[in-house]
Amino acid sequence: MMGGLGTRIRIVVLNLSFAFAMLLSSRASGQTSGPNCNTVATPPPLATFGGPATAERGETEAGIAVGASGEVYPTPCGHEGGSNWLVRWRRGVTDGVDLGFDGQVETHSDGSNGGTIKFAARYKINKNVRLEAGVGTSDTGFAGRSVNADVAAVIGTSNPDKTWNYYASGRLGASHGCANLLCASGTGDHPPGALFPLGVVGTIARVSDNVHFVMEMSAIGGIFSREHPDPGAYIHFSIGVLFHVGKKRPG
């Protein structure tokens, strides 16, 4: 029974992910100019990209993923979307804590490019629950510069002898627009700050002891900013590969 449910979850995640990618790549309508329609300051990379495990002491986790995300606002503000590449690096400092960074390069629907980096820490409460926190900075072209942060909780299965495992996460991202990189002193235009609550579901496939295939998508997401009269929706998916180096994982 669980095997059949797992198969259905994987099919739904994959189909909706590719449908979402096609929607964003069509670039049918961009962000509409007008009062209270400014693009908000960019959040940190919000992908969970893996289950509740952390890198063990002396182990390195590295990953690469491709994805897409979008901001959808009520009329007349339209939507904005784009594709991105994510690079992840984590190093286990204890058997339950790892440290590292996520770097993300984005291509927006208007053709502009930008980048975001987040320094993050993860703490494994037990094999099925993990907590995360991170701080970062962004320079994303048309969306301006920002400093940002996030916190998250991840739950999921952790069965190294199984081919498939599943996870879900609740995350809260926050961004603050800056006129200058790292919000150094200075004046000028800057994007409005925002809060990004995001729920994600995903699945992990074991390719080998040290290689895992990951795909995930947002189950629910929002954008709340004082500059916008109504909240928007935030949607996201990613698909990629995780590598574990330096210590062999069982199963």
pLDDT digits (tens, 9 = 90+) for 59-112: 999 999 999 888 888 777 767 778 899 999 999 999 899 999 999 998 877 777
Domain boundaries, the chain: 2-245
Count of Cβ atoms closer than 10 Å to residue 94 Cβ: 12
Phi, psi of 24 (to 5 degrees): -70, -40
For 232, how many CA atoms within 13 A lie in the half-sphere containing its CB? 28
Q: Would you say 98 and 63 are in contact if contact means Cβ atoms under 8 Å apart?
A: no
Q: Is the pLDDT reported for residue 45 higher than 60? A: yes
Name the CATH architecture for the domain at 2-245: Beta Barrel (2.40)
Picking from 129, 133, 73, 144, the residue whose alpha carbon sits closest to that of residue 100 is 133
- H or E stretch including 24? helix 2-26
Give first-to-last CA distance, the chain, whole Å: 23
What is the value of pTM for the model shown?
0.83
For 164-168, what is the mean pLDDT?
Answer: 96
For 242, how many CA atoms within 13 A lie in the half-sphere containing its CB? 26
DSSP string, 96-110: SEEEEEEEEEEEETT
pLDDT in tens, 131-154: 999 999 998 766 678 899 999 999
Q: Is the pLDDT reported for residue 15 higher than 90? A: no
